[in-house]
Structure 1
Amino acid sequence: MSVAARSGSGASGPRIALLGFSIECNRFAPVARREDFRCWLEGEAILADARSPAPSALGEMPGFVAAMDRDSPWQPRPILLAMAEPNGPVEQPAFDTMMAAWRAGLEALRGQVEGAYCVMHGAGLTTALDDPEGALQSLVKDVLGPDVPLVCSYDLHANVSEAMVAQCDAFVGYRTNPHVDMRERGAESAALLRRLMRGERFHRAFRRLPIVAPSVSLLTAKGPYAEVIEFGQERQKVLGPDKVANVSVMGGFAYGDTPFNGFAIIVTGPDRDACEALADALAKEAWSKRDRFVAKLTPLSEAVQRALTTEVPLAFADVADNPGGGGGGNTMYILEAFHKAGVRDAILGLIHDPALAAEAHQLGKGARLAARFNRAAEDSFAHPFTAEAEVLALSDGKVTGRRGIFARTAMDLGPTAALRLGGIVVVVISRRTQCADPAFLEHLGLDIGAARCVVVKSRGHFRAGFDEFFTPGRIVEVDTPGLTSPMLDRFTWTKLPRPVLPLDPETRWRPGQGVSGQP
């Protein structure tokens, strides 16, 4: 394809608006500000990033652009793509700024595009809105008109509102957790948009179940969630693309605490009856597995003993302080307990503590210091902890991910330091990020394969990054306090629909409840 065709200058082919808003919001976490959006791309920068070997954006937009480039000429019309690490609700003025940019870009394209693609997360919040994704999708439809097809892709942790389903023409959700299929879902979105622009029209069948599953029960390698997803994919293959174009099974994000939390099923396709029947079958299949969506964690005291006595390398997941779900990445429960017990040959990462990282950089490699963790933290779970330490290694934190969710993604951890605290090496970063990629530790010269214990502040995405070191049987999910604890009865819910499982054992559901469909 020519450079002109790729850029849209003098090109033929359909004109496609490109935009996106992607953040997973934890109602209980600190408010997200404009500066928390690590990926803020406007205009042609969206295309340059998507086509680069190591984009700053996650995989959906690169996957979409690559698929469109491969297929046939097209004319991209990029507006704004805003992405952030999971956080608290977005400050409304910051979201208003985004909406103004999207509105201006869309109005400039009114009557001049044949389609639109929007990268979403689906679990966003603002300080004023429970459904910013629905607001953005409605804006696209209002400005471009109902006849311009809109395809949206979503994280499988989306809390799906009626507006999100109604205000798009094809709904595409991830199928893997850890999320290693983002590029594929972007490419699938491109294929569906091509079909829509050729004149096909899709029905969306929508079911929501009263199940708010703990995050640790939503893995897709095996378990109840994996089984429901596989059931849908097998049925879709049997029915064929002329009846069903996409099956999305959304586990949801409990900590969003929205009126539309709940296990959601969206079946998109040309055949209304086939989509509705498959949505019903999937809802029944998910409900039949409802008792298996529970959290089973290891008490901290038991985790300490395992770390002291293990004869094989183990990974300990600090699932309650997962920056990938809005956690601060700065609780000390595991570090303090391991350090006090004298655990050795251990690596722990990533601790978000800009002040400590800055001090280590000021002192330099080889320096010794009293490492004061959380001297400035405001998170109620992040109590101070001090220990004698040595500065083992330093970096600027610029890393390209090599495995899992961050593979081929340009990441910036900010000034980073590896500190040796007795038998534990702790990696301290300045920009909050979950420890989902071994490159975050390896770029400091740390040998993961030589460690007896590796502690990661991550809920599940580390499984796709560290699977070359730890099989599932060597992963210990530790029960500690935190903003992302899978023990849902520890939170005060204000908007979550009740009753729901597993919080309310008396919850009942019958076929026909939670039914919604779009023409």
Structure 2
Amino acid sequence: MTFTVLTAEFVTESNTFNKNRVDYDAFHCLFGDDAIKERGNANTELAGFCDCVRDYGWNHIHVLSAESDCFVVTRDAFDRLGGAMIAAAVAHKAQLDGILLALHGAMVTEFCEDGEGELLGRLRAAVGPDMPIAITLDPHANVTLKMCELANIVVSYKTYPHVDMRKCGRQAGDILQRAMKGEIRPRTLRVHPPMLREANSGRTDVGPMIDRIAKAIAYEKEPGVFAVSINSGFGCADIREVGPTVTVTYDGNETKHRVFAESIADDIWEKRFDIIDYFMPVEEAVEIAKCYKSDQGPLIIADYADNPGAGAYGDSTDLLKALLDAGVMNAACGPMFDPETAKQLHGHKVGDHVKVKLGGKSDPRFGGSPLELEGEVCLISDGFYTGDGPMIGGLHLSFGETAVLRVGGIEILVVSGGGQMLDLQQFRAFGIDPAAKTVVALKSQQHFRAAFEPIAGKIILCDSGALCTTHLDKLPYRNVQRPIFPIDRDM
């Protein structure tokens, strides 16, 4: 029997402490075949869906692939993008056998804390209670009860950096195929310890998550178990159901599976103080940079707190200022989000000497004020690049208007479109070879490791005090359920 499956990707992670909002025009959105052409053979969930289409012979209706910066989503954007998905489900309801969605799991809208739950609720109202719905999630999802009640199948990536998104999409599609055939009647249970996030934000390359993921994969081989997802949570969302979760998609009696999920959740709670990473202050990071010898590869300084991929503004200046003040040479820094300065630099030509007021414009309280700098324009670009690393290889992306400004011994990548550093081409496409630098300061938390770890001589993490600071007690939470760790540290 040939099944008809509707698919879509609607992916964003909302930092509720960021004052910006993402509207419809700010989403990078591709529709139908255009999305399949761009994303159907890369490290994307859509590629995994397309693998199932080919292998199972599905009739495939792909609505859209949309992703954005990590801000709260406007009602208009949610209604238009979600509405396109609902309209397609209604239009094809008579022949539709299943729905397969790539979501993030930490979307907050102007009118709702649980964007994914709201979307699934509207879908259920359109197609009824019996149609199987499968969703994929980022491991930093804040998985809500509503998501688990409305989606039969929940599958999260198992890697951070996320190098298994295609594999995750395929796993969800395989389970959906069995559900559509009537072999299984999957549902999903959830366990949720009272924490803002897992102690190490879900790192899967080192630490306790390695063993947890191994146990999850082994448990997926148990009878009646189809997926085990361990989500570290997204602590920069001030919502009631924030935090880590363990979910099991299963068929049959849930008691045994809930015990397993609780054992993983208990381990997350018991190891809540076991932090692997050391997030050094800017001053300490720069002292290391001043003395660093690049015989074995560059020193990578990751500004953890100013990661645009987690909703930071991406324009903090404290680390760059300290590197400049210390006279660090043969260095690169980026991306520095500053559309105003990028536009100013586009009014010049390569080789011009210019004065700029760089960065620190979004909210100087988080990571520093604008820097008054003089430098040389090294490159002017439209910002387009093609990834070639493990995470975004083959994807065509853009920083918008982009320029490279050399100040002292540092080449600064100035961009007008947000995005964290997670691929070498995000430097190389703009004339900066990170492997040839002594010091590379970049804005990312963990994803950079997939591409930059192989070229690095040493990696250190820096907390510049920007919006994604590791000191969560400095953020003005109002909506989270209390008590919660680590705000209520002695609970």
TM-score interval for Structure 1 and Structure 2 normalised by the shorter chain: over 0.9
Structure 1 position 230 matched with structure 2 position 214: yes
What is the deviation of 1:496? 1.4
SS of corresponding position for 2:192 = strand
SS of corresponding position for 1:497 = coil
d(CA) in 1 for partners of 2:461, 2:337: 20
Does the CA-based 8 Å contact 2:229-2:248 persist in structure 1? Answer: yes
Report the more deviating stretch, 163-172 or 374-383. Answer: 374-383
d(CA) in 2 for partners of 1:72, 1:379: 53
Give the match for residue 343 of structure 1. Answer: 328
What is the deviation of 1:433? 1.1
SS of corresponding position for 2:72 = coil
CA-atom RMSD, angstroms? 1.9
TM-score (norm 2): 0.94
SS of corresponding position for 2:273 = helix
d(CA) in 2 for partners of 1:475, 1:272: 46
Does the CA-based 8 Å contact 1:170-1:204 persist in structure 2? Answer: yes
Task: Give the letter aligned to residue 387 of structure 1.
Answer: L
Count of residue pairs brought into register by the alignment: 484
Q: Which residue of 383, 387, 392 corresponds with 1:406?
A: 392
d(CA) in 2 for partners of 1:480, 1:125: 26
Give the match for residue 315 of structure 1. Answer: 300
Give the match for residue 24 of structure 2. Answer: 34
Q: Which residue of 239, 248, 254 corresponds with 1:267?
A: 248
SS of corresponding position for 2:356 = strand
Question: Structure 1, residues 266-320: CA drift from partner, whole Å, max 9, x if none?
Answer: 0112243442232122223322322215763111111111110112431111111
Does the CA-based 8 Å contact 1:294-1:502 persist in structure 2? Answer: no
Does the CA-based 8 Å contact 2:246-2:261 persist in structure 1? Answer: yes
d(CA) in 2 for partners of 1:379, 1:195: 53
What is the deviation of 1:96? 2.0
Question: Structure 1, residues 321-373: CA drift from partner, whole Å, max 9, x if none?
Answer: 11001111111111111101111111101011122222222211111111321
What is the deviation of 1:108? 0.7
Q: Which residue of 455, 461, 466 corresponds with 2:447?
A: 461
Task: Give the letter aligned to residue 193 of structure 2.
Answer: L
Give the match for residue 428 of structure 1. Answer: 414
| Identical amino acids, percent of aligned pairs | 31
Q: Which residue of 241, 253, 259 corresponds with 1:277?
A: 259
Task: Give the letter aligned to residue 195 of structure 1.
Answer: R
Give the match for residue 449 of structure 1. Answer: 435
d(CA) in 2 for partners of 1:395, 1:174: 34
Task: Give the letter aligned to residue 425 of structure 1.
Answer: E
Does the CA-based 8 Å contact 2:308-2:420 persist in structure 1? Answer: yes
Structure 1 position 47 matched with structure 2 position 28: no
Moved over 6 A (4+): none
Q: Which residue of 227, 231, 240 corresponds with 1:250?
A: 231
Give the match for residue 478 of structure 2. Answer: 494
d(CA) in 1 for partners of 2:17, 2:475: 9
| Cα distance change on mapping 1:216 and 1:348 into 2, 3 Å | farther
Does the CA-based 8 Å contact 2:324-2:408 persist in structure 1? Answer: yes
Does the CA-based 8 Å contact 1:215-1:459 persist in structure 2? Answer: no
Give the match for residue 517 of structure 1. Answer: none
Report the more deviating stretch, 164-173 or 225-234. Answer: 225-234
SS of corresponding position for 2:421 = coil
What is the deviation of 1:420? 0.8
Does the CA-based 8 Å contact 1:397-1:415 persist in structure 2? Answer: yes
d(CA) in 1 for partners of 2:12, 2:199: 16
d(CA) in 2 for partners of 1:209, 1:482: 27
SS of corresponding position for 1:163 = helix
Report the more deviating stretch, 417-426 or 275-284. Answer: 275-284
SS of corresponding position for 2:22 = coil
Give the match for residue 482 of structure 1. Answer: 466
Does the CA-based 8 Å contact 2:285-2:460 persist in structure 1? Answer: yes
d(CA) in 1 for partners of 2:364, 2:16: 14
Task: Give the letter aligned to residue 296 of structure 1.
Answer: Y
Does the CA-based 8 Å contact 1:397-1:416 persist in structure 2? Answer: yes
d(CA) in 2 for partners of 1:145, 1:375: 49
| Cα distance change on mapping 1:316 and 1:50 into 2, 3 Å | closer
SS of corresponding position for 1:405 = coil
What is the deviation of 1:194? 0.7
Task: Give the letter aligned to residue 419 of structure 2.
Answer: T
What is the deviation of 1:186? 0.8
Give the match for residue 148 of structure 1. Answer: 131
Does the CA-based 8 Å contact 1:228-1:286 persist in structure 2? Answer: no
d(CA) in 2 for partners of 1:421, 1:305: 19
d(CA) in 2 for partners of 1:328, 1:77: 36
What is the deviation of 1:116? 0.6
Task: Give the letter aligned to residue 310 of structure 1.
Answer: Y
| Cα distance change on mapping 1:216 and 1:477 into 2, 3 Å | farther
Does the CA-based 8 Å contact 2:198-2:232 persist in structure 1? Answer: no
| Cα distance change on mapping 1:216 and 1:335 into 2, 3 Å | farther
Question: Structure 1, residues 57-114: CA drift from partner, whole Å, max 9, x if none?
Answer: x711122113321x1311112223321132x211112212223322222211222201
Structure 1 position 77 matched with structure 2 position 61: yes
Give the match for residue 489 of structure 2. Answer: 505
d(CA) in 2 for partners of 1:93, 1:505: 39
What is the deviation of 1:499? 1.6
| Cα distance change on mapping 1:307 and 1:321 into 2, 3 Å | same
SS of corresponding position for 1:65 = helix
Task: Give the letter aligned to residue 304 of structure 2.
Answer: V
d(CA) in 1 for partners of 2:396, 2:364: 28
Structure 1 position 126 matched with structure 2 position 93: no
Does the CA-based 8 Å contact 2:202-2:231 persist in structure 1? Answer: no
| Cα distance change on mapping 1:470 and 1:272 into 2, 3 Å | farther
TM-score (norm 1): 0.89
What is the deviation of 1:140? 1.6
What is the deviation of 1:387? 1.2
Give the match for residue 25 of structure 1. Answer: 14
What is the deviation of 1:456? 0.5
What is the deviation of 1:178? 1.0
| Cα distance change on mapping 1:48 and 1:406 into 2, 3 Å | closer
Consecutive unaligned residues of structure 2, counting only runs of 5 or more, are: none
